[in-house]
Amino acid sequence: MKNFAEFFAGVGLVHEGLRSSGWNCVWANDISRDKQETYIENFGEADFWLGDIWDITKNPNIVPSDTFLYTASFPCTDLSVAGERAGLAGAESGTLNALIEILINKNITNSLPKVVMLENVRGFLTSHKGKDIEQTAQHFTDLGYYIDIIELDAIDFSAQSRPRVFMIAVEESLAKKTMKIKNGIQLFDDWWSYFERHPYLRSEKVKNIILKNETLNWALFDINLPEKTTIRLADIIEVDIPDNSTLWWNEDRRSHIFSQMSEGHKNYLKEMVERNSYSYGTVYRRTRKGKPMAELRTDGFAGCLRTPRGGSSKQIVIKAGKGQWKVRLLTPREYARLQGVRDSFKLPTNANKGYFAMGDAVCVPVIEYISKNILDHLYNEDNGSNNNIHSDNIKLRSVALYCR
Ligand SMILES: C[S@@+](CC[C@H](N)C(=O)[O-])C[C@H]1O[C@@H](n2cnc3c(N)ncnc32)[C@H](O)[C@@H]1O
């Protein structure tokens, strides 16, 4: 069976992206009861384990053994450039270390998954000057996996800019069948020319990480670049919100946000108002030189969705044209659409929970792309045998973990 286990499952958007190509979720975990509720609403409850991932390290048998793929879109809080950047030493992003501990235990019982996929923000490439991701690659190498790191931006798949890093670790024999393996340190290795064929998928940052750690198990997937989407902000807007809806801001709030715009942005908004048709833009609140500013974005894309801690990070949308303009927050359904989620996906009835559910989720078509271009191929090459990794040839060195 094309089985996967979903760590840090949230409301299940990795699940959503994988199931379209026939993947079967055998088990999922998250600590949030709210997210679990939404997950169960959409996928049923049989396979959801609610609780702290560190508790699983004490009993790794909780995770079913016959699992081909583990996915982990672990918390980005300590990795995002906006945060304090404690990195993997931080309480939240450091939960990745619990997953590593689970894998080490699975290795002892010969029940490692064949493939592990991590997802996080680009800050994962740079936190602790790259040491966090290097340490992670070291753990996977110690466990006998071969690793590729690719970068994808939701902007190629949806109307949202959301750059993300995917580290995909593949069991040795499967990697040797399906990936281009790097052979140690060779200056004029054709592996590098292969690497450089797709600078869009693997940036200089990834290159530098590999150059600094050439003896780790690096390998490359041969994949095509995503085709750029034609979906734009106007396509995800809930057009049936009536003009008298209380979602639209009152005059005080509307004038306030206008007052925070630069002259250039005010003039652009006036141009939008004068058009004979409606157009949309998003507004970001930023502090520039100590002054709060409202910045208008009109290229048809929303910025990266976030969980609304503090309130101000919710995304604002402007509708302008036919002599008028209105402003409101994007709705949770619009958030979901920006994440490429079908409209039949059930969202929490409480709007704030909806923003939380979608703000730190993954963009579904990005996962679909990875599935179709990488994971399905790995599974097919494995002939569906789904044998677990045998650790006979794996020299498990003592692994220096950041523990709690
Ligand atoms: C980046 S989000 C993943 C969202 C998910 N991919 C989705 O589609 O909704 C990280 C998730 O990790 C969960 N989490 C944080 N700390 C955890 C812990 N100690 N154990 C288990 N899950 C945890 C959060 O509740 C959150 O849902």
**pLDDT over 80 at 332, yes or no:** yes
Which whole number is the average pLDDT over 245-253?
96
Pocket test for ligand 1, best of 4, 8, 96, 346 (most atoms within 8 A of CB): 8
Q: Ligand 1, closest atom to CA 358?
A: 9
Lowest mean pLDDT among 226-235, 321-330, 371-380, 390-399: 390-399
- Using the Cα atoms of residue 339, residue 358, residue 375 and residue 206 in order, give the sign of their dihedral: positive
Answer yes or no: are the C-beta atoms of 136 and 88 closer than 8 Å: yes
Taking CA atoms only, the protein residue closest to ligand 1 atom 17 is 31
53 Cα to the center of ligand 1, angstroms: 10
pLDDT in tens, 272-305: 999 999 999 999 888 888 888 999 999 999 999 9
**Residue 388 pLDDT greater than 50, yes or no:** no
Residue of the nearest CA to atom 10 in ligand 1?
75
Asked if residue 311 has pLDDT above 80, the reply is no
Categorize the per-residue pLDDT at 190 as very low, low, confident or very high, splitting at 50, 70 and 90.
confident
Q: Give the residue whose CA is nearest to atom 18 of ligand 1.
A: 52
User: Would strands 115-121 and 69-72 be described as parallel, antiparallel, or unpaired?
Assistant: parallel
Boundaries of every domain in the chain: 3-228+362-393, 239-330
pLDDT in the model for residue 93: 82
| Interatomic CA distance for residues 151 and 199, integer angstroms | 10
How far apart are the CA of 112 and the centre of ligand 1, in A?
22
How far apart CA 254 and CA 339 sit, in angstroms, is 27
Of 3-17, 73-87, 107-121, the range with the lowest mean pLDDT is 73-87
Distance 11 CA to ligand 1 centre (A): 9
What is the pLDDT, as a whole number, of residue 403? Answer: 28
Distance 250 CA to ligand 1 centre (A): 36
Q: How far is the CA of 181 from the centre of ligand 1 (A)?
A: 32
Is pLDDT of 253 > 60? yes
pTM of the predicted protein model: 0.92
pLDDT band at 232 (very low <50, low <70, confident <90, very high): very high
Residue 318 Cα distances to 41, 246, 257, 294, angstroms: 32, 15, 11, 12
* For residue 396, pLDDT beyond 70: no
Residue 76, pLDDT score: 84
Please spell the DSSP secondary structure of 120-177, one letter per residue.
Answer: EEGGGGTGGGGHHHHHHHHHHHHTTEEEEEEEEEGGGTSSB--EEEEEEEEEHHHHHH
Whether residue 318 has pLDDT greater than 60 = yes
More confident residue, 185 or 280: 280
**How far, in Å, is the centroid of ligand 1 from the Cα of 28?**
11
Mean pLDDT, the chain, as a whole number?
90
d(CA 253, ligand 1 centre) in Å: 34
Which of ligand 1's atoms lies nearest the C-alpha of 53?
Answer: 20
Atom 9 in ligand 1: which residue has the minimum CA distance? 10
Mean pLDDT across 211-236:
94
Give the atom of ligand 1 at the shortest distance from the alpha carbon of 357: 9
- Given this model, what pLDDT does residue 393 score? 35
178 CA distance to ligand 1 middle (Å): 30
Ligand 1 atom with least separation from CA of 362: 8
Q: Which of 118-122, 143-147, 313-317, 323-327 has the lowest mean pLDDT?
A: 313-317
Smallest CA-to-CA distance from 280 within 253, 244, 245, 317 is with 317
Question: How far is it, in rounded angstroms, from Cα 203 to Cα 123?
Answer: 13
Least confident of 21-25, 279-283, 312-316, 400-404: 400-404
Q: What share of the chain in percent tops pLDDT 70?
A: 92
The pick from 4, 30, 62 for probing ligand 1's pocket by mutation, whose C-beta has the most ligand atoms within 8 angstroms, reads: 30
Nearest CA to ligand 1 atom 26: 10
Give 330's DSSP letter.
Answer: P
Ligand 1 pocket mutation pick from 11, 31, 37 by most atoms within 8 angstroms of CB: 31
Residue 31 CA to ligand 1 center (angstroms) comes to 7
Q: What pLDDT sits at residue 402?
A: 30
How far is Cα 46 from Cα 26, in angstroms, rounded to an integer? 9
Confidence of residue 14 (pLDDT cuts 50, 70, 90): very high
Please give the structure tokens belonging to residue 271: 């141009």
The phi-psi region of residue 337 (left if phi > 0; otherwise alpha if psi is between -120 and 50; otherwise beta) is alpha
Ligand 1 binding pocket (C-beta < 6 A) is: 8-14, 29-32, 35, 52-53, 73, 75-76, 92, 95, 360-362
pLDDT at 128 over 80: yes
The CATH code of domain 3-228+362-393 reads: 3.40.50.150
Q: Which atom of ligand 1 is nearest to the CA of 52?
A: 20
Res 83: pLDDT? 53
The residue whose CA is least distant from atom 13 of ligand 1 is: 8
pLDDT tens sequence across 20-65 = 999 999 999 999 999 999 999 999 877 899 999 999 999 999 999 9
Other beta carbons within 10 Å of 310: 8
Structural tokens at position 163: 């750059």
169 in Cβ contact with 146 (< 8 Å): yes
The stretch 90-101 carries a mean pLDDT of 90
Q: Note the pLDDT of residue 391.
A: 38
